Amino acid sequence: MLNAAKAAADKPARGWLRAIREAIGQSQGDIAGRLGVKRQSYAQFEASEQTGSISMGSLRRAAAAMDCELVYFVVPRGPVARSYAELALIHDPAARHVKATDQSMALRGGGPPDESR
């Protein structure tokens, strides 16, 4: 799962904003209009994203203007865990509690544990 996330997160050469904007057939002016800014201001969003200097707030606003959702995550470089669920179980006390509750419910006949957590 972590390798799939890494592959999915490979940024297009010109950035996600431009790639998505072009994929949905919109111009910079179209998106700028939805943001309430001039085309040049939106062009700066794309340039900033390409260089890695865009703020999360600006990225979120641009995504929303394209009817997209910003999904932000960090993927370990080394073998920390096989999946996000395993990583949560290792480092998040609340996740361990959920796993124990699922196991208890399964033992009491409350259905099989939900392996997707």
Buried b (16+ CB within 10 A) or exposed e, 12-24: eeebbbbebbeee
- Summarised one tens digit per residue, pLDDT across range 24-80 is 999 999 999 999 999 999 999 999 999 999 999 999 999 999 999 998 877 777 777
- SS3 category, 25: coil
The Cα–Cα gap between 56 and 70 comes to 9
Ordered by start, the domain boundaries in the chain are 9-65, 76-117
Tell me what pLDDT residue 91 has. 75
Tell me what pLDDT residue 96 has. 62
pTM of the predicted structure, to 2 decimals = 0.64
Confidence of residue 104 (pLDDT cuts 50, 70, 90): low
Q: Which option is the CATH number for 9-65: 3.40.50, 1.20.120, 1.10.260, 1.10.10?
A: 1.10.260
- Cβ-Cβ contacts under 8 Å for 37 (sequence gap 6 or more): none
Tell me what pLDDT residue 97 has. 62
